[in-house]
């Protein structure tokens, strides 16, 4: 079976300087973490990632049940940080989300996700900055994240906001032989 390799950047940001969250456009607002929003987070993750390369790397991101399992696993993690976990909502519902984990004073940004039809409007930056402000509010001194190198727009955003790569890892994915799909092999 052929193998596909994905380069992932581990990036880090010092949180010594105050984070300024930009104002949202009219009609958009923040929804702070609440247990009742776990399925909304999962739905945004699915819509944002289902056709992305990351869904090949992390198959949970490609389907509804996988995204629900992921959102619940983050929520149930001992290091879950509600202050860094947000939904961004507009007139028609949720358009973006981010989740956070906190361990030993370090914030871990999880899944910055914006629905495809709302990209290019600054919502990814707003979500990330809102999450970073949440980490600062609970005393985190550093934030980290991991991003697929081929996601050039995300890498550029993170660099623009001050994140710097400190390590690269390669993850492999077995690519099924399309001629064998459906043959019970």
Distance, in Å, from the CA atom of 176 to the CA atom of 181, rounded to the nearest integer, reads 8
The pLDDT score that the predictor gives to residue 61 is 92
**73-92 pLDDT, tens digit each:** 999 999 999 999 999 999 99
54 or 24, greater pLDDT: 24
For 77, the token pair is 């993690």
Residue 148 pairs in a beta bridge with 8
The pLDDT score that the predictor gives to residue 177 is 58
34 SS3 class? coil
Provide the pLDDT confidence category of residue 153 given band limits of 50, 70 and 90: very high
Q: For residues 165 and 8, is the Cβ–Cβ distance under 8 A? A: no
The pLDDT score that the predictor gives to residue 141 is 96
Q: For residues 84 and 41, is the Cβ–Cβ distance under 8 A? A: no
- Mean pLDDT, rounded, of the chain: 92
54 or 173, greater pLDDT: 54
The pLDDT score that the predictor gives to residue 178 is 56
Give the CATH architecture of domain 3-34+80-175: 3-Layer(aba) Sandwich (3.40)
Give residue limits of the domains in the chain. Answer: 3-34+80-175
For 134, the token pair is 């949440």
Task: Answer whether residue 53 shows pLDDT above 90.
Answer: no
**129-147 pLDDT, tens digit each:** 999 999 999 999 999 999 9
């Amino acid at each position: 079976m052929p193998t596909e390799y994905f380069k992932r950047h581990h990036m880090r940001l010092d949180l010594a300087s105050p984070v300024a969250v930009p104002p949202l456009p009219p009609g958009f607002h923040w929804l702070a973490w609440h247990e009742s929003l776990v399925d909304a987070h999962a739905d945004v993750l699915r819509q944002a990632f289902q056709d992305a390369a990351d869904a090949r790397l992390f198959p949970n991101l490609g389907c509804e049940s996988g995204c629900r399992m992921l959102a619940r696993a983050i929520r149930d993690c001992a290091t879950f940080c509600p202050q860094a976990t947000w939904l961004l909502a507009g007139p028609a519902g949720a358009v973006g989300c981010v989740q956070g984990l906190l361990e030993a004073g370090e914030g871990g940004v999880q899944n910055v996700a914006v629905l495809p039809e709302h990209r290019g409007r600054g919502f990814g930056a707003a979500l990330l900055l809102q999450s970073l402000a949440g980490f600062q509010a609970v005393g985190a001194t550093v934030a980290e994240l991991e991003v697929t190198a081929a996601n050039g727009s995300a890498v550029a955003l993170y660099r623009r906001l001050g994140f710097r790569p400190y390590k690269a890892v390669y993850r492999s994915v077995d690519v099924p032989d399309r001629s064998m799909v459906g043959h019970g092999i």
